[in-house]
Amino acid sequence: MKVSLYISFSIYVLLHLFHPHHCAAVSNLAPQSSASPHFNYTLNTFYLNGQPFQIIGGQMDPQRIPHQYWRQRLNKARSMGLNTIFSYVYWNLLEPRPGEWTTAKPDNDIAQYFKIAQEEGLHVVLRPGPYICGEREWGGFPAWLSTIPGLEVRTNNTLFMSYAKRYLEKLLAELQPLQATRGGPILMVQVENEYGSYGDNHNYTASLRDILRRNLDPGTILYTNDGGVQFTLDGGNVPGTLAEIDGDPSSGFQAREKYITDQSELGPLLDGEYYTLAPDQWGSNATHNDPDGDQDTIDGFVKDLDFVLGGNNSISLYMFHGGTNFGFGNGGIWRPENYLAAFTTSYDYGAPLDESGRTTSLYYTLRGVIRKYSPEGSIPDVVPDVPRSSIADFSLHPIGDLFDSLPKPTYSIKPITMESLNQAYGFILYEATSNASYSGILQPGDRPRDRVLVYVNGEKQGVIDSIYESPAKINVSLHAGDKLQLLAENLGRVDYWSLESGTENELLQPWKGIMGDVVIGDAVLEGWDIYPLPLDPPPSTKQLKKRESIQEGSREKRNRRALSQTPIFYSGKFRTPSSQSSSVGDTLDGTIAAMGLDTFLSILNGTKGVVWINGFNLGRYWIIGPQQSLYLPGVLLNKEKDGWNEVLVLELEPEDGKVMVGRGLAEREWGNAPDPDAP
């Protein structure tokens, strides 16, 4: 097994038995009369249209995939032998601001995704939350919830339940026509998500159950999904709701049969999250999780899949296809050792279908197992993968300093958080001018939230980073008139907290930026200009160049920017590679190829930053790895013949204004490098 800086894969899987993220029959009764005539169950068998039905599923979330690729990815799922897609829904993307509903945006059109799934021969299991974990920012909660006084998430708090109810009602109103009771693909709906790992407030989960019941047809089956041990099953089960497990199927199924005794919660066994591997986390020693070449792990997958399907039970692979945490979408886990394990932009997960939607050797291995339990000829042929493109090296030139592109500040005696300024993601800059001399160790609030770059008069002093158990201690000296600047980056709000974690409940402390006093030695610094920098959208290259031209008359400004240690925007262009491919012809993937070929964009000499392509935020890069390139979907490229694509990069730690280099890779490379800012 590969061991990361934070947790080994084996420990991660063990934790999932207790908190998974994303979190023997006694008789053969007739199908339940209260369930849908289209989909129902007895104690040991699901039935679809009156025939026994075994769920062979896989997790694939639409909001991690460009909508233009939904059909291609779903087609690949059906061709591997899956008959059902399990999908989380991310509340924060559907309602980014209170009352602002965004399902009209194609990437958030969940109903359309489910319609395509049905057209491709797949059924659907809906996992709407409101909490979903899934290594997503704050477990899918919108950041604005944290600004509502008295609101507490994941409990029967009146304020929280009112917003959760509104969210679920709006979502389900759009999905009602797609229930199996009406001939649609939705077979089941999950109540919350692995709640037993978090708590045991059964009034809360029962309230969510009742909201779902009121907004779904009477025959739509509700279920819970929890780790296969006693405390998670005790905490997460909901009367009248089918209780299921995730993690190891052998021990999990035994636990379900032993600890779930309420007859209204019993039914066929389903492993609702069988982990194909694990997600990647940033870190110099955090290697990429990949089953390729790890025969013991692959043999274990085959053995478990045979065990589940051979026992006439059901399963969902987590993940079948992981996709991408585009932009600032990743979450993190606050470890008991008091550091943040921040997840990468890539959510490849070592899944059978890789981040770019191409089949892997694991895909064909699992397809071979599934074929043994499927009627002959029922699994479609696999459409050939579209080749990816490479892009020759292109230059990225500095065009503007982040600190020269600041919005109007908010003044405050004490620092205030991102959320206090109605900011959800990105960066926030705190700037104070010293009125006396101070010297000593800098403490930016209660703790780094999450990564704080420290400058005095524009000169970098160091980085205080919460991905380390013991972040760097930076000694700062200020004289009267000196300017202290603290640039805080949100690396991803904590998406998981467990009863077993041994830490404070970080789901209740999602605030980013600086919380508390800034202290140098024993002195508290007061009087701050605070600049929210969500970078959504970032300044355009025209805006940055205009600012640059305005500054041309100032030699001091020019010299400062040329030698800047503060973050710099870089810009460059490349032409769209040819998308002609004789190997894919007029097939489904041939249609995808016509949209533009995918690639993996690498910033060769970057340290840490963010990349936008034609205005779209691809996500973060970081030299420490294991991710060394960003997935660039071909659908984002300029489709005109030999069209130009504009790349904007914010490099947080530039080197004296040097030219940077971008490159597109047809074959991804993973790797790690030392952290230049390690404590």
Q: What is the pLDDT of residues 324-336, one digit of tens each?
A: 999 999 999 988 8
pLDDT > 70? residue 322 = yes
> Any idea which fold 391-398+565-582+591-665 has?
Jelly Rolls (2.60.120)
pLDDT of residue 446: 94
pLDDT > 60? residue 29 = no
Q: What is the pLDDT of residues 7-23, one digit of tens each?
A: 333 333 344 433 433 33
Q: What is the pLDDT of residues 500-553, one digit of tens each?
A: 766 788 889 999 999 999 999 999 999 999 999 999 999 888 778 665 554 544
For CA atoms 394, 397, 400, 403, the dihedral sign is positive
Q: What is the mean pLDDT of residues 329-348?
A: 93
pLDDT of residue 25: 32
Q: How many CB atoms lie within 10 A of CB 102?
A: 13
Kind plus residue range of the DSSP H or E element containing 112: helix 110-119
Write out the two tokens for 509: 């402390």
**What CATH number is given for 39-373 in this structure?**
3.20.20.80
Q: How many CB atoms lie within 10 A of CB 245?
A: 33
Which residues belong to CATH 2.60.120.260 in the chain? Answer: 391-398+565-582+591-665, 400-498+506-536
Identity of the amino acid at 516: G
pLDDT of residue 174: 98
pLDDT of residue 352: 98
In degrees and rounded to multiples of 5, residue 220 shows phi and psi of -75, 125
pLDDT of residue 594: 66
Rounded to whole angstroms, how far apart are CA atoms 345 and 316? 23
Rounded to whole angstroms, how far apart are CA atoms 39 and 218? 12
The residues with which 531 forms a beta bridge, in sequence order, are 429
Q: Among 120, 194, 355, 419, which one carries the catalytic annotation? A: 194
The yes-or-no answer on residue 355 being catalytic is no
Rounded to whole angstroms, how far apart are CA atoms 214 and 211? 5
In the chain, pLDDT over 90 holds for what percent of residues? 83
pLDDT > 50? residue 614 = yes
Mean pLDDT is lowest, of 24-33, 312-321, 638-647, for 24-33
pLDDT > 70? residue 490 = yes
Q: What is the pLDDT of residues 393-425, one digit of tens each?
A: 999 999 999 999 899 999 999 999 999 999 999
Confidence class for position 3, pLDDT limits 50, 70, 90: very low
pLDDT of residue 658: 78
Which residues belong to CATH 3.20.20.80 in the chain? Answer: 39-373
The yes-or-no answer on residue 119 being catalytic is no
The residues with which 524 forms a beta bridge, in sequence order, are 519
Rounded to whole angstroms, how far apart are CA atoms 243 and 556? 68
Write out the two tokens for 49: 């249209």
Q: What is the pLDDT of residues 200-248, one digit of tens each?
A: 999 999 999 999 999 999 999 999 999 999 999 999 999 999 999 999 9
User: Per-residue b/e over 449-464, b at no fewer than 16 CB within 10 Å?
Assistant: bbbbbbbbeeebbbbb
* Pairing label, strands 630-632, 528-533: unpaired
pLDDT > 70? residue 560 = no
pLDDT of residue 592: 63
Confidence class for position 641, pLDDT limits 50, 70, 90: low
Q: What is the mean pLDDT of residues 605-617?
A: 97
> Any idea which fold 400-498+506-536 has?
Jelly Rolls (2.60.120)
* C-beta separation of 466 from 450 below 8 A: yes
Q: Among 120, 135, 265, 273, which one carries the catalytic annotation? A: 273
Confidence class for position 33, pLDDT limits 50, 70, 90: very low
Of 463, 471, 513, nearest in space to 488 by CA: 513
Q: What is the mean pLDDT of residues 82-103?
A: 97
Q: How many CB atoms lie within 10 A of CB 667?
A: 9
Q: Any idea how long the chain is?
A: 679
Confidence class for position 587, pLDDT limits 50, 70, 90: low
pLDDT of residue 588: 61
Confidence class for position 24, pLDDT limits 50, 70, 90: very low
Average pLDDT score, the chain: 90
Rounded to whole angstroms, how far apart are CA atoms 12 and 289? 11
pLDDT > 80? residue 266 = yes
